[in-house]
Amino acid sequence: MNRLQLRALLEEVRSGAVTPESAHEQLLQYLRQSPYENLGFARVDHHRSVRQGFPEVVYGPGKTPEQIATISERIVAAGHNLLVTRTTRDAYEAIRERLPAASFHEQARTITLRLTSMPPGRGTILVAAAGTADLPVAEEAVTSAEIMGNTVDRLYDVGVAGLHRLLAEHARLTAAHVVIVVAGMEGALPSVVGGLVDAPVIAVPTSVGYGASFGGITALLAMLNSCANGVSVVNIDNGFGAAAIASAINHLP
Amino acid sequence: MNRLQLRALLEEVRSGAVTPESAHEQLLQYLRQSPYENLGFARVDHHRSVRQGFPEVVYGPGKTPEQIATISERIVAAGHNLLVTRTTRDAYEAIRERLPAASFHEQARTITLRLTSMPPGRGTILVAAAGTADLPVAEEAVTSAEIMGNTVDRLYDVGVAGLHRLLAEHARLTAAHVVIVVAGMEGALPSVVGGLVDAPVIAVPTSVGYGASFGGITALLAMLNSCANGVSVVNIDNGFGAAAIASAINHLP
Amino acid sequence: MNRLQLRALLEEVRSGAVTPESAHEQLLQYLRQSPYENLGFARVDHHRSVRQGFPEVVYGPGKTPEQIATISERIVAAGHNLLVTRTTRDAYEAIRERLPAASFHEQARTITLRLTSMPPGRGTILVAAAGTADLPVAEEAVTSAEIMGNTVDRLYDVGVAGLHRLLAEHARLTAAHVVIVVAGMEGALPSVVGGLVDAPVIAVPTSVGYGASFGGITALLAMLNSCANGVSVVNIDNGFGAAAIASAINHLP
Amino acid sequence: MNRLQLRALLEEVRSGAVTPESAHEQLLQYLRQSPYENLGFARVDHHRSVRQGFPEVVYGPGKTPEQIATISERIVAAGHNLLVTRTTRDAYEAIRERLPAASFHEQARTITLRLTSMPPGRGTILVAAAGTADLPVAEEAVTSAEIMGNTVDRLYDVGVAGLHRLLAEHARLTAAHVVIVVAGMEGALPSVVGGLVDAPVIAVPTSVGYGASFGGITALLAMLNSCANGVSVVNIDNGFGAAAIASAINHLP
Amino acid sequence: MNRLQLRALLEEVRSGAVTPESAHEQLLQYLRQSPYENLGFARVDHHRSVRQGFPEVVYGPGKTPEQIATISERIVAAGHNLLVTRTTRDAYEAIRERLPAASFHEQARTITLRLTSMPPGRGTILVAAAGTADLPVAEEAVTSAEIMGNTVDRLYDVGVAGLHRLLAEHARLTAAHVVIVVAGMEGALPSVVGGLVDAPVIAVPTSVGYGASFGGITALLAMLNSCANGVSVVNIDNGFGAAAIASAINHLP
Amino acid sequence: MNRLQLRALLEEVRSGAVTPESAHEQLLQYLRQSPYENLGFARVDHHRSVRQGFPEVVYGPGKTPEQIATISERIVAAGHNLLVTRTTRDAYEAIRERLPAASFHEQARTITLRLTSMPPGRGTILVAAAGTADLPVAEEAVTSAEIMGNTVDRLYDVGVAGLHRLLAEHARLTAAHVVIVVAGMEGALPSVVGGLVDAPVIAVPTSVGYGASFGGITALLAMLNSCANGVSVVNIDNGFGAAAIASAINHLP
Amino acid sequence: MNRLQLRALLEEVRSGAVTPESAHEQLLQYLRQSPYENLGFARVDHHRSVRQGFPEVVYGPGKTPEQIATISERIVAAGHNLLVTRTTRDAYEAIRERLPAASFHEQARTITLRLTSMPPGRGTILVAAAGTADLPVAEEAVTSAEIMGNTVDRLYDVGVAGLHRLLAEHARLTAAHVVIVVAGMEGALPSVVGGLVDAPVIAVPTSVGYGASFGGITALLAMLNSCANGVSVVNIDNGFGAAAIASAINHLP
Amino acid sequence: MNRLQLRALLEEVRSGAVTPESAHEQLLQYLRQSPYENLGFARVDHHRSVRQGFPEVVYGPGKTPEQIATISERIVAAGHNLLVTRTTRDAYEAIRERLPAASFHEQARTITLRLTSMPPGRGTILVAAAGTADLPVAEEAVTSAEIMGNTVDRLYDVGVAGLHRLLAEHARLTAAHVVIVVAGMEGALPSVVGGLVDAPVIAVPTSVGYGASFGGITALLAMLNSCANGVSVVNIDNGFGAAAIASAINHLP
């Protein structure tokens, strides 16, 4: 149960769609959960969806497939949607034994399982990517945003070296409620997009490139120095983080 | 005239509050302006408020007081609100000769002049600062957000070394629509705030610190690596940029 | 024989628990050892435990399993406890052939063999870790501190994005004599812990993270810039080093 | 009133040296203070001495002399000892108007005022400095450690290029309870000292040097990579921080 | 006499416009010069114009006004055009005493004196600059290119945050024989220009910006990673260097 | 059809070599192509050869062999020459199934297929390489320049530690229209070559070296700081980029 | 034939030990060699031993075993001693087929073949190494120095954390004509050695270490900032380079 | 008295030029000095000339003129030659009051006073500098080498962009016993010189340059990666250090 679901429940009580008794039961069930569950190697944060609108997300690196599966099982057991990021097919196999309904998104390297329907956002999140090599990060953003209850529009291979490809999609750009821009190399795309829209732009530098791209540092620095207004930046290759921010914006009251 | 004002004008026509003739006149007056005005050393972008919700902002460094005053005069002549950032008292003196109503915000190093009332945002922007030395950047964010039509709440000197000072203000944190967190040194405050709220958090690293703070690089890197969801980052000391993003979020339909 | 054991022996002579003849014999046996033993590729420092309270520790990288086993054998032959760090199962197999009592700590990547009982420290060393991926470094600190004669308390997965997990353990934090804090990504945990306790805090940055975490540089810099008092820092992933300092503090007279 | 003073007070009640009535009165007076005092630009943390053994220390940079003087006055009004670091003669003049008893330590760039006697530490803190140019940082450590209630021994200009100068002072080195080592350039002194003592060593890199010393980065990195055990590190030029850690160690029960 | 002038002279002999006697005299006069002239603190390279198409250029920093004036005098005495870069009004005053015809370009920080007419280039060199603060570097390129015999077109304040300002000048962009693009901050302009033209693009990063622009490093890295073809890069703020390359291209046979 | 071919076609119409009807048909066929073709994961830019003189080049990394083959097929289907860079034998196998005439250049890691004859350049492009380990990058430049219609001369293993090897080839150096200089380690060769020729020099740093060569950063920085005029720089190991610039220069009208 | 051999030959002619006829023949044979031999992928520099005292050394990385074997064969065919550095067993196998007398030094990763006896140096070269993991680099220096005609003394595992191991070898240190000091981690050993001897010290940083050792950067920087006189530095892991310098010094007339 | 003077004295005793009584007296006078003299802020190392061939050199930065003058007086009082580096006219004025014979070298920023004649070196030290702006560092090397008893030859403004200026001085290069090469910007000169001579080359990077020269880092890195043999490197701008090494080499027995 997250903050928006809590508010919705109370609205339903007022409107009579839900009886006070049923609401009482649902709240009790939630409150019976400990705020976190200590597995020894991890403390699963069960109240995060109330505090932050989405349950704890499992960050894959540094955890064994067995640990990931155990944490995932506890999250689902608590009635939350599941999202695992930066993960592998091995982890997916371990999860599938316990949670057969889970899905693996190969290009995005994410695992998801949707238990409950999230409240829809106010508008569309557009995910734009500069080149084909940026797609894994862009797809991480897409699958993350979708599991968080957002409608997502994809706009791929629109790098600044062929501006007409971007300008031809001007209408989709300005229609978006939030824009995520994914780019490596010189990271110029967020500046150009930022000058064309008034929606907030979340820039995601990628490690695409070689030599003086320094594994994404160049794109990161370029985005931090954007001369366009309205551009904020997340870590290199952090498609999930961009989606979390975009979703937070898209779900503001 | 920005995008929100344009929408409001059309609403007023529908409701009868404004006659079509008057609206026609207002629109004509706007469209008679060239999209930009070439001063030789600068091209003032008069349509930016339509594209991006706020007119062109004057970035002070590298411009003479005389250049700043000339550009400011053209912006005001076009009927726009004025915001000059990273500026000096000298530039203010040059502006005041031409625009006596302009104000200088010493700590924030900004100059503002409000000609038209901006549409109000949906909620409050909270500006939190870790320490006293971070106030110039925090105040740049405050004065920028205010001239863009936002209500701003200040929360200063709440660094993580004395957590009780922050936790005592929990209610103001969760009441905000968007949170700007300004911090130097180890830049830990956005992670802690990001874990407490579900509003989007814009983190502003500052150059406060010495030695291995490297002029704000440490705070910048820490913020980019935040383990909390919902935190995006702008350039070091970029209070204005954070305000522009926060205002864009706060003015989403 | 280390400095504390030497002092203890002399106390026992004074109290009559040990005869001067026996003490004489023990001291002679120690002094008959050369201060170091030259193996050609290594000079084993047999007097280090007198100078520094713990015998030479074997640093694994760059040594063949055979070299590690040979050095380990010489240390044990001199009557010292054994600690090998940053090592592998291969090295363990080589050691076990010569020293069957040795133990391999897989997650910690350490090998230990306890020959003599170390004098106990004055209090407890608390090892706190921000996330599950930090456990290898945390466990290196734990196994190192234990072989040096310390009582250790573990507090894992208490990162700052879910502060309630940390605050719930406030009593264990303030009860510790020394605190080791292990964290990657933005490295904010030592600052928060440092503000809650008056015990010395040894911060260990880890290479956990990606992109702009730069293999632990971000966490390292953040910890060096901590706004909390009482925080000192060791090298990235240096769990052993933190344990050695904590043990030195814990064994101060 | 800090944690040690609180403990001492209760001991005195038990021993009869202080009446319960008098102790009650002292505790009430303390508790009547708010945990912090909001000056608008700063929140003075009045309970820090209970949490951390020393009251809030005023960090000078980024504050006007007037702000420093105001904060200092509030700290002294609350009955605490005063320490201002990285400050200037101008700030001292502003403080002296309100607190005539304050002292300025020119080389150390600190201001102190001792209101109450701190409990003495268990041993001596030795401050060793590699060269004459390192003295400002060393003296910052000395004046900070002294106001925190420690006995300090100075050992200056003992850099490794003339080892005999250091070895001649071997007895003072091994007599210390904690050692602070201050060095710039290649930062080798802590490694050499760390190999000679079993006390904890706090290494302070300084910005002394030129070219590839990079303002102290080289010394910082060298110290973090020390092959000697028991060496932890603080920020470049952070003499105060080293003193705070050393004092925390020196005041452990 | 440079390579092009030499070729032109021989053409004139063939066409009869110059007599062999006169050409002989001109060549003798040139060959009588030593290939370089040793002033002790400098060796003036008098044959550089034959090797490289333009005489030695005086780099200002690290030379006293007196040294600059002495070298300038020797260059002019040898019959060459004079260009001094990164210089000051003081150096200009020293030069003007000996060479009253010299000109000082304040914004460009260059001194020039045209003795002989350079052969014209094949086309126009366009110098585009992203913002007003980039003008000193752009003007260094302009004055350098002009003294080397090129026709220069200026296109200023066309940064990517307001693309319409650039696209409105598309015709001037495609008409240029070589394009120099000067930009700071995120350095995105060369990528956008590079995608629009087939002329070679010389990108000049500038130190304009703050925080994570790192004195132009960000712009430099972005330009090196340009996804557009045909973009090569020179040092930060090196307007002169870009002009020298552009002129070399423009004067190719 | 690229810009030069378009111009050539119109010349042929004027001269009568091509009938207006035939030219009309050729132009129609070209214009019937969409300016780009959206494959979902990529938008193939079919008009790039008009804008930039060479069709879109396929950058290999981050694309699957299947994606590369699909894009390659579309480029060839549109009548363009094919160039794939930084590619592998696997990609070549995938391409060869669809385009049997394609060639794989193993050392250069490029794939080419020549459909149409490019207009010849004005002169020769010389590719000089400092050492044997630089040959993969040099050969990438050679195969790229050749497919773009240039005559290329190779000058390999002429590093500055044995200057006589370079000086012995002085005639080939000065005969070139454009010079590409490929070097790793200290990257000194472009400065020496730049002092010997008046043709434009494109410097390509390589990742050849170890230790403080930092994967080519040292060579890159050295080249950016060249004291010779006429040297511009591309990304580390970017042989293709240098060829594209050199070809653009070589095909200027 | 190198410079010293040339001088020795002329001395022998003067003394009558060699007839002018014989000397004439030897010189002719040498001069008949081209100064370099162009293999296409490499130009073997046959006169380097005259210019620099040792023939061209084959740097292994980036060359195939076949290329290395071909170059080696040409060097030996010209009568020179062979040294291949940073090489592999594969390259050795390729060489051994053509030059069965070649030796492979596994730890040093070098291949040598001694054809002619080099003139002996004036004294001993001492190679000191801080730890066991530094031995590959130290042995590269040893095998390189020996093939260049020097007497070498090894002093291994004498790091500064156990100073007594170094001080015990004081006599060997001061007896050396030149000292090579090999160390990783904090790189302090050259400073300590430099303070003890008046012979020139060549410091070789190694990539031994982890975390903030940054692959040897820390040791490199520390050595460049050495406060001891007489210490110069070579690239990280460059044992061969240090040997070449030490040999040049040791063979000075 | 340094090591060479000691040896010379004993030779003179053997030859009868000095009586044993006189030698005895001289030795006694030396031995009566303490090995160092503790001034509180500095420990003057009076035995350094025996250990290292030259007395302690005073490093200026971070010392007050008064401190410099006091240390200088003690060095001269002990009978040693004086060298102060990186100093100012103010320090010179303070010294001159006590030591009127001292000389100030303005460009070199050194102060010297010659009390005793140093033993001459075996050959000449050549100091080569790439450009005029490098002269302060070159002159620091020259004045340092001269006070240490060396004959110095200057070769200035011979940068690689005009190779003929260097090649014209080939004879002076090959005549030198040791070569110091001083260069900024791309730092290529040591590689070129290193390929021409067999004497040891000490490379001194300077902070001359701008932008991506990063205060000398580029030149430093280039020199460390020199492909020429026999090149070792000292810190940026460290002319004195290069002179100390060159002098040590030049005074080897």
Question: pLDDT at position C231, please?
Answer: 96
> What kind and span of H or E run contains E248?
helix E239-250
In angstroms, the Cα distances linking G66 to F130, G26, G41, G77 are: 20, 31, 12, 16
Determine whether the interchain pair F62/A132 forms a contact, defined as Cβ–Cβ distance below 8 Å: yes
Spatial separation of the C-alpha atoms in residues A196 and H88, rounded to whole Å: 56
| Residue F223 pLDDT greater than 70, yes or no | yes
Dig out the tokens for B86 from the structure: 């990273």
- Please indicate whether, in this complex, the C-beta atoms of D207 and B208 are within 8 angstroms of each other: no
Q: What is the mean pLDDT of residues E133-151?
A: 97
Q: How much is the pLDDT for B13? A: 78
The string of pLDDT tens digits covering residues B35-84 is: 677 877 888 777 676 666 678 899 999 999 999 999 999 999 988 999 99
CA distance H240 to C9: 54
- CA distances (Å), origin G107, targets G78, G143, G147, G239: 28, 10, 16, 12
Nearest to A161 among E131, E161, E194 (CB): E194
DSSP string for residues in F58-79: EE-TTS-HHHHHHHHHHHHHTT
- C-alpha span between H219 and H242 (Å, rounded): 15
* Mean pLDDT for the stretch of residues E120-135: 95
Q: How far apart are CA B146 and CA B144, in angstroms?
A: 5
How near does any CA of chain D get to the CA of B58, in Å?
26
Percent of chain A with pLDDT over 90: 66
pLDDT at E131: 92
What is the dihedral angle through the alpha carbons of A87, A91, A97, A99, rounded to the nearest 10 degrees? -20
Cβ of H158 within 8 Å of Cβ of E43? The answer is yes
- Around Cβ A88, how many Cβ atoms within 10 Å? 16
pLDDT given for residue D204 in this prediction: 98
Residue E40: its pLDDT value, please? 78
Per-residue CA distances from E8 to E23, E28, E143, H238 (Å): 11, 16, 24, 49
Give the pairing of strands B36-38 and B43-45.
antiparallel
Alpha-carbon gap, residue C224 to G1, rounded angstroms: 57
Question: Structure tokens of E65?
Answer: 């006004």
Give chain G's residues under pLDDT 50: none
pLDDT in tens, A173-224: 989 999 999 999 999 999 999 998 989 999 999 999 999 999 999 999 999 9
Over the stretch B188-205, which tens digit does the pLDDT of each residue have?
999 999 998 989 999 999
Residues of A in contact with B54 (CB under 8 A): 229
DSSP state of A37: E
Please tell me the distance from the alpha carbon of residue C69 to that of residue C58, in angstroms, as a whole number. 10
| Low pLDDT (below 70) residues in chain C | 1-7, 28-35, 47, 49-53
* Chain B residue with minimum CA distance to C213: B225
Contact A224 B220 (CB under 8 A): yes
Residues of F in contact with H226 (CB under 8 A): 161, 185-186
Mean pLDDT of F153-160: 94
Nearest CA of chain G to the CA of C65: how many Å?
Answer: 13
* Mean pLDDT across chain F: 90
3-state secondary structure of A152: strand
Neighbours, chain B (3 or more CB pairs < 8 A): A, C, D, E
Rg (CA), chain F: 20
3-state secondary structure of B74: helix
Which amino acid type is present at position E185? M
Instruction: Supply F64's token pair.
Output: 């699957």
Least confident of B159-163, C123-127, F80-84, F127-131: B159-163
pLDDT value, residue C83: 96
What is the per-residue pLDDT for E56?
Answer: 85
Under 8 Å between Cβ of G191 and G160 = no
Q: Tell me the shortest Cα–Cα distance from G68 to chain H, in angstroms.
A: 18
Neighbours of D79 (CB within 10 A): 15
Q: Kindly state the tokens that stand for B167.
A: 């936790």
Q: B251 CA to chain A: closest CA distance, Å? A: 9
F123: its two tokens: 């002169």
pLDDT digits (tens, 9 = 90+) for E198-245: 899 999 999 999 999 999 999 999 999 999 989 999 999 999 999 999
Strands F103-105 vs F110-113: parallel, antiparallel or unpaired: antiparallel
Question: E185: pLDDT confidence band, cut at 50, 70 and 90?
Answer: very high
C53-85: per-residue pLDDT in tens? Answer: 678 899 999 999 999 999 999 999 988 999 999
Alpha carbon E219 to its chain centroid, in Å, reads: 21
- Residue F112 and residue F87 in contact, taking contact as beta carbons nearer than 8 Å: no
pLDDT tens string H184-220:
999 999 999 999 898 999 999 999 999 999 999 999 9
What's the token pair of residue H131? 């450009």
Q: Are the beta carbons of E84 and E58 closer than 8 angstroms?
A: yes
Cα–Cα distance for residue pair H166/H170, rounded to 1 Å: 7
pLDDT band at H7 (very low <50, low <70, confident <90, very high): low
Which tokens is D218 given?
């080289």
- Decide if H153 contacts H177 (C-beta within 8 A): no
What residue has token string 């340009």?
E226
pLDDT at E6: 66
Q: Which of B41, B86, B235 sits opposite E135 (nearest CB)?
A: B41
Q: Is C187 left (phi over 0), alpha (psi -120 to 50) or beta?
A: left
Q: Interface partners of H (3+ CB pairs, < 8 Å)?
A: D, E, F, G
Query: In degrees, to the nearest 5, what angle opens at C-alpha E223 toward C-alphas E218 and E225?
Result: 100
- With contact defined as 3+ CB pairs under 8 Å, the chains touching A are B, C, E, F
Which of D209, D211, D220 lies closest to D134, judged by CA? D209
Place of tokens 């069960």: A46
- Mutation for testing the D interface, residue in G174, G226, G227 having most D CBs under 10 Å: G227
Regions of chain D short of the pLDDT cut 70: 1-7, 28-35, 47, 49-53
What residues of chain C lie within 8 A of the CB of D3, using their CB?
A: 198
Distance CA G47, CA G55 (A): 7
E224 contacts F232? CB cut-off 8 A: no
Query: How does strand F110-113 pair with strand F82-85?
Result: antiparallel
Q: State pLDDT tens for residues E6-61.
A: 667 777 877 888 887 777 777 666 655 566 778 778 888 776 766 666 788 999 99
On average, the pLDDT of chain B sits at: 90
Write the burial class of residue E210 (CB in 10 Å: 0-12 exposed, 13-18 middle, 19+ buried): buried
